[in-house]
Structure formats: structure tokens, C-alpha cells
Amino acid sequence: MTAALVVIDVQESFRRRANWVACSRPDIVGQVNRLVGAARSRGDLVVWVLHSEPDSGDVFDPARGFVRLIDGLQPAEGEPVLTKYVHNPFTTTRLQHLLTVHGVREITVCGIRTEQCCETTARLAADLGYEVSFVVDATATMPIEHPDAPPGRTMTEILADPRTLGTEEIIERTVYALSGRFATIRTVDEVTALVPVGADR
């Protein structure tokens, strides 16, 4: 085992936010499941990561019950499920230890959000010496308001604001930032095509 799929924050918390209606990939569960199936067929390590903000009172507060994988995702027996408290899973979990124990040198990153926890994980993994694949169409994000935007606006108002950064722009910027520097940009089709001939998909 020299490779791992790291699934970042594909959790119910995001679906409870108002901006989920503008999510770039509402079908992310299906995309992730394709990657998981391919990784398992190759014998790669699959690591699940959840984001938690205890005592925050928001959707990332575990007391509210939303810090769990979105329905349709199910870790297999023995697949680690880690809980992080910052943008990347290396800093506050045992991810690096797990990867070292399993001899992993190649990491495939997917999850939510594209430019936030997924991109941060890819950048840090590259700096730690891992070969990183960033599966762009198995990541999801939501529009980002301008820093000077007034608080409390509706999604209609946010989306109508020309200063709001749209999901396509966010994803494009992440691809530009990572490609050739921190990661190889791949698609789900490309990654799943790497399953050995004869493997059980």
C-alpha cells in the first residue's frame, strides 16, 4: 500500500447551510463513491476526515449532530475516520502517522470545500513530500461573498452581487494555484480508469 484517498469534510454540516443551494457539486457523494470504489479495488488506504468546531453552536458543533458523513457514504471496516479542528487534517489528527505506518507516498484529495480544506490539505501534503492528486470534480464549493459585503444577506442577494466570487471562478483559481506546484489535477474519470484490469469495481 503506497497510496491513499483522503476524503475531506463531505459531511452533513455543509448541507445544513443556506449556501448549499449554490453548491458547485450537489452530486459529490456519487463522485466520492466512485473514487472510494476505485481506491478499494487497488488496495489503497481510504481515510475519511470530518471537521468539528466544538461549542461553536453552529452546524460544525458536534452537539448538533451534523458532524457526520452525508448519507450515501459509508466507511468500510478498518478505514479510519478522523476529526480535525483546523483547515487541514495533518495538524490536529494522526493522519501523517497513519500514512507513514502504511507506507503511503501518494495522496489523492477530494471533498469540501475546493479552495479551503481541500486545497490546504493538498498544499501541506506536497510540502511534506507526498505526491498529490487533486480530483477537482470530486470537490465542491459555494460562492464567496466580497470581504466588504454587509452581513445577513439572503442567497439571492449574495448571488446577484457582481463582487461575489462564483464557484467556477473559485475552482479555476484553485486549479491555477495547485497545478504544477502542489498537485496534479485529475478528474474522477481519470482516477477510476487507473483501476487494474480485472479488479472488482
Q: Which of 23, 110, 117, 118 is catalytic?
A: 117
Pair 125, 109: CB distance under 8 Å: yes
Q: What is the pLDDT of residue 1?
A: 63
Q: What is the pLDDT of residue 201?
A: 40
Residues 88, 67: Cα–Cα separation, whole Å: 16
Q: What is the pLDDT of residue 195?
A: 63
The whole-model pTM stands at: 0.95
Q: Is 117 a catalytic residue?
A: yes
Question: Which residue is associated with the grid cell 471533498?
Answer: 111
- Identify the segments of the chain with pLDDT beneath 50: 197, 199-201
Q: What is the pLDDT of residue 172?
A: 98
Greatest alpha-carbon span in the chain: 56
Q: What is the pLDDT of residue 194?
A: 74
